[in-house]
Amino acid sequence: MIKLENIVKTYGSKENRTYAVNEVSMNIDDGEFVSIMGKSGSGKSTILNIIGCIDSATSGTYYVDDICVSDMSIGKRKKFLRENISFIFQDFALIDDYTVYENIEVPLIAKGKSRKEKKATIKKYMNMMGIEKLARKYPNQISGGEKQRCAIARALASGNSIILADEPTGALDSENSKNVIEILKQVNKLGKTVIVVTHDINVANATNRIVKLKDGRIVE
Amino acid sequence: MYYYVKKYFRSILTSIVLVISLVMTIFTTINVARINSIGDSTDTNKKIGYKYSIDFRVHKINMEESENLEYEDTIDDLNESIVKEFSNNDFIELLSIFSCNTIQYVEMNAGEGVSKTDVEMYIGNSEIIELPLVKGTIDFEVDKLVAVIGNDLVDYVYEENNKEMINLNDIPFEVGGVLKTTSPSGKDNRIIVSYENMKRFLQDYQLDRIVNYDYFPEYCVCTNDSEMKLESDLEKINEYLNSVNCYFEIDEVARMMDIEYLYSVIGKNVVKLINIVCFFNVFLVVLIWIKHKNKEFAIRKTFGYSTLRIYGQVIYEYMKCFVLAVILSVILQIIYSFIKSIPLDLSIYVSNGNIKTIIYTFVILIVELLVNVLYISKIETINGMKSK
Ligand SMILES: Nc1ncnc2c1ncn2[C@@H]1O[C@H](COP(=O)(O)OP(=O)(O)OP(=O)(O)O)[C@@H](O)[C@H]1O
Ligand SMILES: [Mg+2]
């Protein structure tokens, strides 16, 4: 279970301090499919990044399964990130110089998996996403929808239980968006906790719960 | 093909630029090392080929005061020791090239009459001797017997095959020109020939007499391939002159550089400058290369890669380019050596001082990478993700 308590994130010095996230507290159960909505600049990405340990809160505490993540040292937090969290981004965040196969391999290398294990895992998720034919292609050789499926395959290949998606359909057409929504639903059914930041009401409607943010605060 | 090249290099364009800039740096460093080794090497072949000239004067010391020192003996002693030690006439050449000496008893003959004449003899070449001429030029070619003569010797000139000739010790010389008389008496019995030609009509034993103290002080210009050799030659000369109570002075002011030497000095510094520019260039290219990888590193960080691991990966990819660049540079140097006929001798490049140069180069190239690597660790993951 993810538990945020009075998370505050500020930018700037005393005089012109901006609150990106202001006193946010919420709980997300294991296996939940949650969407975070709000206007641009309302702090959605900031919250997601704090949960994903690639950003740290100015104050407040953050627990996962009663382990206090916000108190962890940098090294420990990296380890926690490696073993629990996977990201999906709006711009796919694929490494341009790596093939689809190698991109999916990235989290597996981080975990120090054996060659055989890596191969089997990558194959499995490529098949699941229907991109097995693209293994040797580079990101600039495939379409946006394919890129996002590749990114999702990579997130799943890590085997982590928390999937964080920051506007995963933001750069896709409606066809591909629907596809991604379906995939995310499927992923959630695999028992993973999925948190989606989105502008797209269709995406939000597909989730179990919608959290609305305004000016860094939860409004409902 | 593209797939495998890409797999090896990852980012092809930046990697190729990196390899090229590394090759440029390593190649220029190799050549800086080669140029540096001139000072250490004693083998003339290995030198980059610069000339060095020096003017010096030979003096006899206290000739008047030392009564027991016989003048003739002194000369003989000197000549003897010279001939003994310098069987190949190196020393004589050194002392006499471009020098002015009075040689006695050159046999002059023209057609019927034969005459032994006292002649003042200049041995040298046109670059050094700039004497005014009545006609002709001072233009010596190595394999052509040419003499430039004074007024008084015109009587001995005869014509053959439409050419003006003069016999010196029975050897026919073409008359290249006639000197304009400068002496008030109007008497002029000078002969100018090149050193090589002089050797043909003066026997070796006569060569000794070139070192002649009638003309005093002796004025010599000697040229040599290198400063090093010249210094050692001068040392030898000094030894011998000391042993016969003579000494010589190096006219430091008159130290002059051969134009070729000057060029090589400029060339040497230009190479060093280019070398420094290359190092700077590598730094910039690595910076761009790292920036290109910025997003990749950020993505890796979102998957929990440790900074150390990311460093390792950068260093690994840099090393791939580096090793390739070293190999290419060596190949390039071998080709260059063939073109420039530089001997393929490792000792040229790895002499004492150069080991340091080479080590510095490698250290600098690695440090340049590490500085940039430290720079990436300063970039936060989120900002890294935003970079294109
Ligand atoms: N590095 C930063 N420095 C200063 N202010 C920042 C920084 N990053 C974010 N902010 C501010 O924090 C607030 C929240 O940003 P955030 O990126 O979380 O918004 P968002 O809800 O994700 O918006 P969008 O829908 O446009 O992605 C914004 O007002 C933004 O201006
Ligand atoms: Mg955002």
- Which distant-in-sequence residues (6+ apart) come within 8 Å of B374 by Cβ? none
For residue B372, count other CB atoms closer than 10 A to its CB.
Answer: 21
Please report the pLDDT score of residue B97 as a whole number: 35
Instruction: Using CA coordinates, name the residue in chain B closest to A156.
Output: B303
* Residue pair B84/B154 in contact by the 8 Å Cβ criterion: no
User: What does the block give as tokens for B84?
Assistant: 């003994």
The answer to whether the bond into B184 is cis (omega within 30° of 0) is: no
How are the residues of chain A apportioned to helix, strand and coil, as percentages rounded to the nearest 5?
A: 40, 25, 35
Closest protein CA for atom 25 of ligand 1? A40
Say how far apart CA B31 and CA B357 lie, in whole Å: 11
The DSSP code for B180 is P
Q: Does A17 touch chain B (CB under 8 A)?
A: no
The response to whether residue A41 sits with its C-beta less than 6 Å from ligand 1 reads: yes
The domain total for chain A is: 1
With CA atoms as reference, report the closest residue to B118 among B101, B133, B106, B131.
Answer: B106
A54 and B301 in contact by Cβ < 8 A?
yes
ipTM: 0.91
The response to whether residue A20 sits with its C-beta less than 6 Å from ligand 1 reads: yes
State the best of B1, B11, B18, B303 to mutate against chain A, taking most chain A CBs within 10 Å.
B303
Ligand 2 centroid–CA B169 distance in Å is: 104
**pTM for this predicted structure:** 0.65
Q: What is the pLDDT along chain A (220 residues), one digit of tens a residue?
A: 899 999 999 988 888 888 999 899 999 999 999 999 999 989 999 999 999 988 888 999 999 998 998 888 888 988 999 999 999 999 989 998 899 999 999 999 988 889 999 999 999 999 999 998 999 999 989 999 999 999 999 999 999 999 999 999 988 898 999 999 999 999 999 999 999 999 889 899 999 999 999 988 998 7
Query: Which candidate from A89, A94, A97 shows the least CB-CB separation from B10?
Result: A97
Pairing of strands B133-136, B171-179: antiparallel
Q: What range does the domain containing A13 cover? A: 2-218
CATH number at residue A86: 3.40.50.300
With CA atoms as reference, report the closest residue to A36 among A206, A204, A151.
Answer: A204
How close A176 gets to chain B, by Cα (Å)? 23
Q: Does A75 touch chain B (CB under 8 A)?
A: yes
Burial class (CB in 10 A: 0-12, 13-18, 19+), B344: exposed
The response to whether residue A44 sits with its C-beta less than 6 Å from ligand 1 reads: yes
